[in-house]
Structure 1
């Protein structure tokens, strides 16, 4: 993990947010906390995975938990925004370690239906058993004294959700990228550029000063350092793909053209069969080892 950065609370009703950058996947993992109660939640934490050796390690998890402990934070929630295609989620591991509930959007049930076919595993995946909370659009809960609202924001996947924490922080996953990059891809099974456009527009209806925390950044030719925070106002004005009011048809055309040039994430076929189980590794077989099933020539 290259580095972390904290965005401090702006006052009452505003959380502290620390982002932890994962080098291998360009993912940002979040620790969001209530400054008043010291209660916290983890969002989109990575279980490190090497697709070449199919080996896992907990380096990223361990670093984040040490940070939280040093800061005097009590983690009450383990949250994910969607079943990730580019990293292995740490939800199950964190649930076992912390004895705290985990959650994801309820439409993971529909995503699981899609991927049972791709993997030819008709009896696989039981998100109701592996996640304590399957959130619906508009659901609410609390992190300490801070209210959290769940917002369905599909497009990248059909079941992606945004967590809006307090008055001024939204964890927008793979919708927006940084303004100088644009928006996320929408070509995975169940995703569509049309849905993503509508999700982006809904996020732009949040107050201008809302801090938007994205799911990924890789830097650019001109900006070498990864970054992951912007505001609604900045995205509305400067976003490379929709800033200034791009029409829906124009957005769909450019998004679909761009997506046709992108390769699949190198971890996707490995990790989705685990992420649909909250990141659990397959059960050991009779030789004590664990095995994945990879579909060939389907993509």
Structure 2
């Protein structure tokens, strides 16, 4: 049974969010939901997440799962907010799920941001094994391990339809994601992209982000963000991993490219929240949450 797939773009972070629903049972899953944050005031709000709930409500969906592809560094996950909001409305608890390699990522960022272990131990309700299958109504999904961008990265394969890829591959004119986060590996990412390109040519690859390059229409305008293209289109046109690409060329280019990239603007907030499964740090003051930030300063400024 082919699912219904709703594609919802968050323009502020370039993120694609997805709702996958079974047309028979109306069971559904939300994938990679976004919390809104004002980078000037650091105020967090829920408009994007609420829009996903509106779609679910208007279609009569029962949200069965809240799914993450990885611990994102460019947006805050709304999974915990959605879970709590649904439960407050009398709905059954929708488990927050991610791949089991998240433990590696949590260990890295627990040290970096001094996150107490008790805030990580039960951050996720279910950790998927590689190749594990689960169902949304009569729709079966299989978990693919697609490391490279991050070590915990997974995708969700829907037979005869395609893959929710997260950041393991981008649209052909964007190509690939950076690999310079802790645990990232350009060689692993190339192999993950090739794994996706070995799928049947009609399968759709639903990407986690889209950043349309300028002037793609020949008239000085960017194209509109696209949630997916087919495997066949990716094989022919992906500028980093198409059929005539080589692993060594990709690794060299990706490594050089990543050295010149600045940090994502929300990286510190995102990693501290997303390692906790979308929960905020417990340390607060006057109703506001403390985040840990590491700032490089000259030695002469250190007391």
The two structures share one fold, judged by TM-score above 0.5: yes
- Whether contact under 8 Å (1:108, 1:127) holds in the other structure is no
Secondary structure of 1:266's aligned partner: coil
Match for residue 111 of structure 1?
105
- Whether contact under 8 Å (1:49, 1:55) holds in the other structure is yes
Secondary structure of 2:284's aligned partner: coil
Secondary structure of 1:63's aligned partner: helix
In structure 1, C-alpha distance between the alignment counterparts of 2:3 and 2:159, rounded to whole Å: 7
The answer as to 2:4 corresponding to 1:16 is yes
Correspondence for 1:52 among 19, 36, 40: 40
**After the TM superposition, which parts of structure 1 deviate over 6 Å for at least 4 consecutive aligned residues?**
none
**Alignment TM-score, normalising by the size of structure 2:** 0.90
Match for residue 116 of structure 2?
123
Cα 1:249/1:286, change in 2 over 3 Å:
closer
Match for residue 226 of structure 1?
225
Unpaired runs of 5+ residues, structure 2, are 87-92, 217-221, 298-303
Correspondence for 1:80 among 59, 68, 76: 68
The answer as to 2:31 corresponding to 1:43 is yes
Correspondence for 2:168 among 172, 175, 192: 175
Report Cα offsets for 1:159-190 as digits up to 9, x if no partner: 10001124212110112111111111111110
Query: Any residues of structure 2 matched to 1:139-288 within 5 Å, and which?
Result: 139-221=132-214, 222=216, 223-283=222-282, 285=284, 287-288=286-287
Unpaired runs of 5+ residues, structure 1, are 1-12
Match for residue 133 of structure 1?
126
In structure 1, C-alpha distance between the alignment counterparts of 2:276 and 2:141, rounded to whole Å: 24
Secondary structure of 2:288's aligned partner: coil
- Whether contact under 8 Å (1:150, 1:161) holds in the other structure is yes
Question: How far did 1:41 drift?
Answer: 0.5
In structure 1, C-alpha distance between the alignment counterparts of 2:141 and 2:205, rounded to whole Å: 14
Task: State the number of aligned residues.
Answer: 285
Secondary structure of 1:244's aligned partner: coil
In structure 2, C-alpha distance between the alignment counterparts of 1:125 and 1:158, rounded to whole Å: 22
Secondary structure of 1:129's aligned partner: coil
Secondary structure of 2:36's aligned partner: strand
Secondary structure of 2:257's aligned partner: helix
Question: How far did 1:287 drift?
Answer: 3.2
In structure 1, C-alpha distance between the alignment counterparts of 2:115 and 2:290, rounded to whole Å: 17
Q: What's the Cα RMSD here?
A: 1.6
Secondary structure of 1:149's aligned partner: strand
- Whether contact under 8 Å (2:109, 2:115) holds in the other structure is no
Question: How far did 1:75 drift?
Answer: 1.2
**Alignment TM-score, normalising by the size of structure 1:** 0.91
Cα 1:140/1:110, change in 2 over 3 Å:
same
- Whether contact under 8 Å (1:14, 1:169) holds in the other structure is no
In structure 1, C-alpha distance between the alignment counterparts of 2:202 and 2:121, rounded to whole Å: 36
Secondary structure of 1:130's aligned partner: coil
- Whether contact under 8 Å (1:125, 1:276) holds in the other structure is no
Match for residue 291 of structure 2?
292
Correspondence for 1:97 among 70, 78, 85: 85
